[in-house]
Amino acid sequence: MKRLSALVAVATLTVSIAAVAAARTTAPPTMSPGTLTVAFGDSAVNFAAGTVHGSNYVNPKGYEVDLSSAVAKGLGLKPKFVYTPWAKLFAPGHKSFDISFQEATITAARSKTVDFTRSYFNANQGVLLSKTAKTPKSIADLKSMQTCAQTDTTGLTWIQQKLHPSKTPLIYQSTAAAFLAVQVGKCDALILDTPIVASEKKAHPASYGIVGGQIVTHEQYGAVLQKGSALLAPVNAQINKLWKNGTVAKLQKKWFNIDFSKIPVLK
């Protein structure tokens, strides 16, 4: 009996060693071998912020940078950081990256054209006010304000399908342009993911009014891959591992030392 269990143990060990060896030799198929090309969008404070030189991201810093580096390390790859514009992230067709972390909310419509990893962040929509705007007490107050959003965001969808404001929302091509519109007072209330607006407000407190509220939408951020990418399964396995071993929680604490629950919920 003892010999049998020892035999089983040896057999299991051999199989698992073989599995590990197989995993090592068949590196995941990336655009350039040995490298995981990770794309970020417009600088988002605390998520991924850095200088864009042509298509390269120079020295990016943030939660998504650390997380994607951990994923790449787990896959035995070196990360390379590139820039890709938000406006074409969900456009069907060939992608110029292996994986992109852009605070993209997982939705059924977007899943038609790209693949999402499992969630690496959970968020709601936040209302960033301009310095001259009055703080809305309810969603009804928000209706009469000049709202704005970035093109192709869940915030914009919420404005158009749920809020139905009295003034046409202003739509900007980049996060930077939308923030600028709030700074100069062209837009009273920018509707964008709470962690993004809260981080921006924290980084440049004098440029904005307060984050005047949040709208509970329970959104989950997933990283974006080309539809049908063979990387999806190995990357998901890595993200699962990072949730389980506490890396995700540790990184979120490191980058977002903001208590989102202090922001009032608008109803």
Partner 1 sequence: MHEVLQKFFSPHSFRVAFPDVWFGFQLNLKLMIVSEILVLIFALGIAVIRGLPGRGAAPLRALAIIYTDIFRGTPLILVAFLVGFGLPGLNIRVISTQSLFAYGVISLTLVYTAYVTEVYRAGIESVHPSQRMAARSIGLNYWQSMRYVVIPQAVRRVIPPLLNDFVGLQKDTALVTVIGVAEAAQQAQQFSQNNYNFTSYVDAAVLFILLTIPLARFTDHLIAVRERRERAQAT
In the complex, the residues that contact partner 1 under the rule CB under 8 A are 87, 90-92, 109, 112-113, 148, 151-152, 157, 168, 170-173, 177, 180-181, 183-187
Looking at beta carbons only, is 52 or 87 nearer to partner 1?
87
Looking at beta carbons only, is 78 or 186 nearer to partner 1?
186
Smallest distance from partner 1 to CB 152, Å: 4
Looking at beta carbons only, is 46 or 153 nearer to partner 1?
153
Nearest to 197 by CA among 214, 216, 181, 217: 214
Chain-centroid distance of CA 45 in Å reads: 12
Looking at beta carbons only, is 148 or 223 nearer to partner 1?
148
Does residue 97 contact residue 219 with C-beta atoms inside 8 Å?
Answer: no
Residues 6+ apart with CB under 8 A from 200: 44, 45, 128, 179, 208
Distance CA 61, CA 58 (A): 9
Please report where in the chains the tokens 């109803």 appear, as a residue: 267
Smallest distance from partner 1 to CB 43, Å: 17
What are residue 193's DSSP bridge partners? 125
Residues 6+ apart with CB under 8 A from 54: 83
Smallest distance from partner 1 to CB 111, Å: 11
Smallest distance from partner 1 to CB 46, Å: 24
Residues 6+ apart with CB under 8 A from 254: 63, 66
Let me know if 227 is exposed, middle or buried by CB neighbors in 10 A (0-12, 13-18, 19+): middle
Looking at beta carbons only, is 181 or 224 nearer to partner 1?
181
Smallest distance from partner 1 to CB 184, Å: 4
Looking at beta carbons only, is 30 or 146 nearer to partner 1?
146
Smallest distance from partner 1 to CB 172, Å: 6
Smallest distance from partner 1 to CB 165, Å: 13
Looking at beta carbons only, is 23 or 171 nearer to partner 1?
171
Decide the pairing of beta strands 49-53 and 35-40. unpaired
> Three-class SS of residue 147?
strand
Distance CA 196, CA 103 (A): 9
